[in-house]
Amino acid sequence: MRSLAFAVAYWTLSISYTLAAVIAALAPGRHATSWIIRRYVKRMVQAMHVLAGIRIQYRGDDHLPEGAFIIASKHQSWGDGFATYDRFSDLAFVTGDHLEKFPLMGTVLRKLGAIVVNNCGGREARDALKHRAADAHREGRKILIYPEGNLAKVGEKFRYRTGVWHMYRDFDMPVVPVATNLGLFWPQESFRKNPGTATLEFLEPIPTGLPKDEFLARLEAAVEGKTAELIAEATGNPVTPAVRVLAPDEAARAKAVPVTA
């Protein structure tokens, strides 16, 4: 019943606030649309708590630097975005173009200044990330990105992509890694919700100036290591490193390659 109640609230809130945001998008600037979306996010976090029984606790606020920075987060659940967005007053976020399949969402995303990139990656996605992230950087906004580019099951991880490093290098901004175990309570896009206390933890910032390989290795070690610890903390099981699996686009390419004898 919790899952059903939350599903009804999810779609009711999503449809009503999206319509309101589209109307707000007619006003000049981002303020009106941003105000609507912040109310939507807050109501969703409340619904997660009251209806689904999922409480979000935040740790590591003392690790957040002053000014603009990049947030590089583990992505286990559709709830990740709500939980993180609710923590900041003006957050630009990188999202795949899958959100544009929902009616009117493209209009809202553009008005919010979201950084929409092709889910399949490639040069076009890198160029979009570069130019749209530069707009957010000029405005002094914090930027949220999911370095794996896809929702990962609990206990799994994808290759960490280089888009976050390009922003880190080009904008000379520190990166705050984020670990979470929310996937235990709201797995990926699942209808079923599991009540409990989920944790989203901000980790020590990665300073600017590192070369690509060192930066990516440090980011992955921080996010995956702490995520494994948070999962173990919530389940009572031993700390188990995540298993690397192929991302959807990698699996599709591998399937398309003909097998030769």
User: How confident is residue 91, by pLDDT bands cut at 50, 70 and 90?
Assistant: confident
Residue 218: strand, helix, or coil:
helix
What's the burial of 29, exposed, middle or buried (CB within 10 Å: 0-12/13-18/19+)? exposed
Exposure letters 182-212 (e unless 16+ CB within 10 A, then b): bbbbbbeeeeebbeeebbbbbbebbeeebee
Mind listing the pLDDT tens digit for each residue in 3-45? 999 999 999 999 999 899 989 988 888 889 999 999 999 999 9
d(CA 261, CA 247): 26
70 within 8 A of 129, measured Cβ to Cβ? no
Mind listing the pLDDT tens digit for each residue in 162-181? 989 988 998 888 999 999 99
Phi and psi based region of residue 229 (left: phi greater than 0; alpha: psi -120 to 50; beta: remaining): alpha
Q: Please indicate, yes or no, whether the overall pTM of this predicted structure exceeds 0.75.
A: yes
Mind listing the pLDDT tens digit for each residue in 113-142? 777 766 555 566 566 666 667 777 777 788
Q: In the chain, what are the domains?
A: 56-252 (3.40.1130.10)
